[in-house]
Amino acid sequence: MHSVWQKRLQTLRYVVGENPLSLAAFLLFAAFVLLALVGPAIAPFDALASNVGAPLSPPSLAHWFGTDSLGRDILSRVIIATRLDLGIAVAAVGISCILGGLAGAFAGYFGGWTDRIVGRLSDTIMAFPLFVLAMGIVAALGNTVANIVIATAIINLPFYIRVARAESGVLRNAGFVEAARLAGNGEVRLLFHHIIPNILPPMTVQISLNMGWAILNAAGLSFIGLGVRPPDAEWGIMVAEGAQYIVSGEWWIALFPGAVLMLAVFCFNLLGDSLRDLVDPRRRT
Amino acid sequence: MLTTILKRLLGAIPNLIGVVVVTFLLTRALPGDPAAFFAGGAGTAEAVEEIRKKLGLDKSLPEQFIVYVRDLARGDWGMSHATGQPVLTELTTRLPASLELTLAALLLAVIIAIPLGILAATRPGSWVDHLCRGIATAGVSLPTFFTGLLLAYIFYFLLGWAPAPLGRLDPYLSAPPLVTGFYLIDSLIARDFPVFVGALKQLILPTITLALFVLAPLARMTRASMLGVLSADFIRTARASGLAPRTVLFSYAFRNALLPVMTTLGMVFSFLLGSNVLVEKVFAWPGIGSFAIEALVASDYAPVQGFVLSMALLYVLLNLSIDIAYGFVDPRMKIEN
Amino acid sequence: MSALLEIDKLSLEFRTRSGIVRALENVSLQLPEGGSLGLVGESGSGKSVLSFAVLGIQDAAATITGGTIRFAGTDLLADGGSAMKTMRGRELAMIFQNPRVALNPIRQVGRQIEDVLLRHTALRGAAARARAIECLADVRIPDPERRYSAYPFELSGGMCQRVMIAIALACKPRLLIADEPTTGLDVTTQAAIMRLIRDLGREKGMATLLITHDLGLARDFCDKLAVMHAGHIVEVGPTETLFRTPAHPYTAQLVRATPVGQERLENLASIPGNLPDLRRGDLPPCRFSERCELRSPACATPLPNLVVSPGHLVGCHHPQARSSP
Ligand SMILES: Nc1ncnc2c1ncn2[C@@H]1O[C@H](COP(=O)(O)OP(=O)(O)OP(=O)(O)O)[C@@H](O)[C@H]1O
Ligand SMILES: [Mg+2]
């Protein structure tokens, strides 16, 4: 076990050394996590307070990212929003990974009708354009942040189901599982002690690949007015608030939250790519 | 060939059923009591009960489902409260606007992504290759609504090259007589070139916005599958028999590389239809996406559900056509299943 | 007498991330018009790399660092291989192992033959199609008209190999390189394919370079043998001479490892050790020396090229002069 991690560490060094972008992405990721944790403490102004500066004033020394139409400080709002945006994505991906992973592992391991039901479920979700399905779910369940999380989790499910199902389908017949089976372990025990621990690495890769997409989806939903309600700070809704000012030249209101959102997604996507190289070097492209 | 198509059609039926069941469940999951909602805030208990009967909500769920399907089949997709029109009419009049935008974006993305992917694969390690990889990662990181705004700011506000991001046509131009619903085509049919140019100008920015987003997965897939095919044994055979490099690249390598690209097209369409909604909002595009958003904001649910259903049906249809096209390109599909 | 194919001191390297692979070093070979030469050696010894270099279809990472390849008097490497471009597929042709994956999976096999005809001959349209069907008939494919429009996945491995031979022979080349043409085929099909290659070679006066690690096959089929080890040709000579009096210790071991007649597999010797890593900077002059029982300090000096008997050459400091009765 020890040497496996040493090897991973070596590969990590190799991947990072090979691609300086991975290092940048990792630092950026750390910065975003930090912002999400201590954001409220380091934001220069109260993110919800109006008129902390003159309305619609462009970036200045006092307000690095400028102010919006209500005179709120955009930098503070962008910082505060980190927690909400990442929180939604993490919660959604977490739910999706656990439920999808379990369903997929059961389907792949037991096959038969379990497999057919899970497969049907995943196919049905995939039969929708995913963002549109998310819209429909939020519309049906009600316009709240919790429902955004649920909708994002649902549209992510098929990806985790697929990974877990494929992996456990292969592992089912692997030598060490056979050995454990012959040693008299029950099927459920096998599943939880031998199969699931071994599908964790590919699941981790899937998580990091999905994270950026989950953020994008959640921000997209709030951009069209779902979930997060106006006084709250969230990147998507901030871009929506700034949209009407773009055509009259007040670019900073939409630009900064949009750019930060883009950066966050980009960072997660890069991280996902490097992580995939790490766990599965064969699939490098 | 006909039997293959028929089999594909049959294969799409479970998905179709799944889609209808899910949309049905979504209509039953309306926040609160739909009957109370439809009765309005001032509805008395009797009025609510009345509406419940009228909507069939007093029946069992399977019965309700049958009624739902029957209504759908009859073209009764409910009414839009905001416009007072049947949802189906609203959707069909707006669909061409969305389709024109989506197809234009897909076309643009394919025109750029496929040559880019091929170039990158034939010159691994070159600048084209790096560009392709950069686009592949950066492209999927773009929030479409943000890139749209950025483009509008640069090309409309700063440079003045593009028209205001407001709809399909300048207000002072009138829409061409309806034939296909695609302004570009209809204006050409009517030989109305000012309208054609006007429509094209309006179309450019939203098209680029959408194309940027779907370009990435297409380019990435083309590159990866081209790389795989180029190192295949049969390419070596083709080169060993002295075929022209162009023949090897296109008739041999590209045709084979197309197959995996076609299978990702389904995912690409999913992205495309989803981002289409966002882009329509940014550019005030009068398609079904912005219609749905307006309805959402007004808590007008029938149009939203109609929108989800129509998008899903469209998507099932697109996937079906990809499947059929795949069968034409790959002879191996005829025998399997 | 000038040979049809003359390879002289050819060296080739692959530049890879993990270092330079010296895949071929000072390789020399001659093949006369109409002759048949077997190139044998264990997996990874560089047989395929050599044949790809002859056709100019080596990997992009490969560079030829020295030597010449002449075909019928023409220098194939001159001008960045421009002469090769017009001759490949017409004067020299090649067939590969694993015929199933060596054909374009989504193109009708007849069309694949036609592609070659369209490229190298003046035939067009119906005439090209008719000729393609003739090619299929030439390789004894039954019902060639119908098979013309078959896809590779609809044919058996043996049929696919016949199609590949048809593609290779479509333009009546003077040299055919067959790179392990029977791997992946069952024994009876193997025999049929080899007989086909031999008969067609004799009919058309075509020279053949047969690459294989099956010495028994090479013995039945070739007048001359070249033995390859780790990018070197260690011994060349007439087939029977090489079998009876192998001079190089590696050849001797290969011969001992080859079943003759009814011999049982477990009686066969295996060759100890592995091929050296061709990326190493300190490869000895004799790349076999590290596996060799006869190694002596002399093996660290440049290799000689000894003539054992006319046409029988060996690159070794300790050739085995032992001749069997
Ligand atoms: N593209 C490449 N890049 C780096 N090294 C290569 C490449 N192609 C071949 N080699 C190396 O060249 C050497 C010779 O390979 P080659 O394929 O010619 O062997 P072979 O004798 O044909 O073996 P086999 O009997 O298995 O076909 C091997 O060590 C291989 O690792
Ligand atoms: Mg080989």
Where does the pLDDT of residue A41 fall: very low under 50, low under 70, confident under 90, or very high at 90 and above?
confident
Contact (CB, 8 A) for C208 and C37: yes
CATH of the domain at C227: 3.40.50.300
Secondary-structure breakdown of chain C: helix, strand, coil percentages, each rounded to the nearest 5: 35, 25, 40
The rounded Å distance from CA C63 to ligand 1 centre is 14
Burial class from Cβ neighbours inside 10 Å (0-12, 13-18, 19+) for residue C41 reads buried
Q: What is the pLDDT of residue C269?
A: 61
Report CB contact under 8 Å: B31, A140.
yes
- Residue C325: pLDDT above 50? no
Q: What is the pLDDT of residue C146?
A: 92
Q: What is the pLDDT of residue B141?
A: 86
The rounded distance, in Å, linking the Cα atoms of C171 and C239 is 29
Where does the pLDDT of residue C104 fall: very low under 50, low under 70, confident under 90, or very high at 90 and above?
very high
- Residues 6 or more apart whose CB falls under 8 angstroms from that of C200 comprise C138, C139, C165, C169, C206
- Residue C52: pLDDT above 60? yes
**Chain B nearest C-alpha distance from A194 (Å):** 33
| pTM as predicted | 0.84
Paired sense of beta strands C232-238 and C312-314, if any: antiparallel
Report CB contact under 8 Å: C119, B255.
no
Greatest CA separation for chain A: 75
DSSP structure class, residue C88: B
Min mean pLDDT across A171-185, A237-251, C42-56 is at A171-185
- Is the sign of the CA dihedral B323, B328, B330, B335 positive or negative? positive
The rounded distance, in Å, linking the Cα atoms of C313 and A268 is 63
Atom 12, ligand 1: which residue's CA is nearest?
C23
Query: Which of C52, C54, C55, C57 should be substituted to probe chain B, the one whose Cβ sees the most B Cβ atoms within 10 Å?
Result: C57
What ipTM was predicted for this assembly?
0.88
Share of chain A above pLDDT 70, in %: 89
- Is the sign of the CA dihedral C12, C15, C16, C17 positive or negative? positive
Where does the pLDDT of residue C194 fall: very low under 50, low under 70, confident under 90, or very high at 90 and above?
confident
Q: What is the pLDDT of residue B41?
A: 56
The rounded distance, in Å, linking the Cα atoms of A264 and A276 is 18
Q: What residue ranges in C140-213 does DSSP mark as E strands?
A: 175-179, 207-212
The rounded Å distance from CA C17 to ligand 1 centre is 16
Mean pLDDT of C96-113: 90
The answer to whether A133 contacts chain B (CB < 8 Å) is yes
Q: Which residues of chain B carry a pLDDT beneath 50? A: 336-337
Residues of C with CB under 8 A from a CB of B: 52, 55, 57, 85-90, 93-94, 96, 98, 101-107, 115-116, 119-120, 151, 153, 164, 167-168, 170
* Ligand 1 atom, smallest distance to C41 CA: 21
Please name the member of A139, A224, A258 whose beta carbon is closest to the beta carbon of B149: A258
Q: What is the pLDDT of residue A16?
A: 62
Cα–Cα distances in angstroms (integers) from residue C161 to residues B233, C91, C218, in the given order: 13, 20, 18
Total domains in the fold of chain C: 1
Q: What is the pLDDT of residue B173?
A: 80
Q: Does the residue C291 lie in any domain?
A: yes
Please name the member of B14, B18, B304 whose beta carbon is closest to the beta carbon of A136: B304
The answer to whether A242 contacts chain B (CB < 8 Å) is yes
- Residue C142: pLDDT above 70? yes
Residues B33-46 have pLDDT tens digits of 666 666 555 667 77
The rounded distance, in Å, linking the Cα atoms of C302 and C295 is 14
Report CB contact under 8 Å: A135, B304.
yes
What is the phi-psi region of residue B124: left when phi exceeds 0, alpha when psi lies from -120 to 50, beta otherwise? Answer: beta
Report CB contact under 8 Å: A224, B293.
yes
Mean pLDDT of C227-244: 90
Residues C66-99 have pLDDT tens digits of 889 998 888 888 877 788 888 888 889 999 888 8
- Residues 6 or more apart whose CB falls under 8 angstroms from that of A270 comprise A21, A22, A24, A25, B137
Q: What is the pLDDT of residue A196?
A: 84
The rounded Å distance from CA C164 to ligand 2 centre is 17
Q: What is the pLDDT of residue A284?
A: 45
Q: Which residue of A has its CA nearest to B281?
A: A224
The answer to whether A212 contacts chain B (CB < 8 Å) is yes
Q: Does the residue C262 lie in any domain?
A: yes
Atom 29, ligand 1: which residue's CA is nearest?
C44
Mean pLDDT of A25-51: 79
Closest CA to B216 of B110, B123, B322: B110
Q: What is the pLDDT of residue B277?
A: 92
Report CB contact under 8 Å: C89, B241.
yes
Q: What is the pLDDT of residue A14?
A: 65
**CA triple C131-C135-C141, angle to 5 deg:** 130
CATH code for the part of the protein at A11-283 = 1.10.3720.10
Length of chain C: 325
Share of chain C above pLDDT 90, in %: 27
Report CB contact under 8 Å: B312, A240.
no
**Full domain range(s) for residue C299:** 3-91+173-314
Report CB contact under 8 Å: B234, C94.
no
The answer to whether A127 contacts chain B (CB < 8 Å) is yes
C157 phi and psi angles, rounded to 5 deg: -55, -45
Residues of B in contact with A247 (CB under 8 A): 152-153, 156-157, 164-165
Q: Does the residue C10 lie in any domain?
A: yes
C16 lines ligand 1 (CB under 6 A): yes
Question: Which bound ligand lies closest to the C-alpha atom of C96?
Answer: 2
The answer to whether B336 contacts chain C (CB < 8 Å) is no
Q: What is the pLDDT of residue A1?
A: 47
Residues C277-322 have pLDDT tens digits of 888 877 888 888 888 888 888 888 888 888 878 888 888 888 876 5
The rounded distance, in Å, linking the Cα atoms of B271 and B287 is 17
Locate the domains of chain A by residue range.
Answer: 11-283
Closest CA to A145 of A82, A229, A203, A68: A229
The rounded Å distance from CA B81 to ligand 1 centre is 72
The residue behind tokens 């897939």 is: B221
Q: Which of residues 259-318 of B touch C (CB under 8 A)?
A: 259
The rounded Å distance from CA C48 to ligand 2 centre is 4
Q: Architecture of domain B96-286 in CATH?
A: Orthogonal Bundle (1.10)
What is the phi-psi region of residue C203: left when phi exceeds 0, alpha when psi lies from -120 to 50, beta otherwise? Answer: alpha
The segment with the largest mean pLDDT, out of A70-84, A143-157, C82-96, C183-197, is A143-157
Mean pLDDT of chain A: 82
Q: What is the pLDDT of residue C10?
A: 92
The answer to whether A272 contacts chain B (CB < 8 Å) is no
Please name the member of C87, C103, C120 whose beta carbon is closest to the beta carbon of B237: C103
Burial class from Cβ neighbours inside 10 Å (0-12, 13-18, 19+) for residue C297 reads exposed
What is the phi-psi region of residue A144: left when phi exceeds 0, alpha when psi lies from -120 to 50, beta otherwise? Answer: beta
The rounded distance, in Å, linking the Cα atoms of B89 and B77 is 9
What is the phi-psi region of residue C46: left when phi exceeds 0, alpha when psi lies from -120 to 50, beta otherwise? Answer: left
Residues A171-202 have pLDDT tens digits of 887 778 778 878 777 778 888 888 888 888 88
Residues A131-152 have pLDDT tens digits of 999 999 988 888 888 999 999 9
Atom 7, ligand 1: which residue's CA is nearest?
C14
Q: What is the pLDDT of residue B336?
A: 47
Q: Which residues of B18-37 are buried (b: 16+ CB within 10 A; e: fewer)?
A: bbbebbbebbeebeeebbeb
The rounded distance, in Å, linking the Cα atoms of A153 and A147 is 9
The rounded distance, in Å, linking the Cα atoms of C288 and A176 is 40
Mean pLDDT of chain C: 85
- Residues 6 or more apart whose CB falls under 8 angstroms from that of A174 comprise none
Atom 11, ligand 1: which residue's CA is nearest?
C23
- Residue A285: pLDDT above 50? no
Q: Return the CA Rg of chain C.
A: 20
Report CB contact under 8 Å: B242, C119.
yes
Residues of B in contact with C116 (CB under 8 A): 241-243
Dig out the tokens for B54 from the structure. Answer: 């009228």
Report CB contact under 8 Å: C101, B239.
no
Residues B214-257 have pLDDT tens digits of 898 899 889 989 988 998 999 999 999 989 888 899 889 999 99
Q: Does the residue C184 lie in any domain?
A: yes
Report CB contact under 8 Å: A220, B278.
yes
Locate the domains of chain B by residue range.
Answer: 96-286
What's the order of all strands across the beta sheet hosting C224-229? Answer: C92-95, C175-179, C207-212, C36-40, C224-229, C232-238, C312-314, C306-309
The rounded Å distance from CA C212 to ligand 2 centre is 8
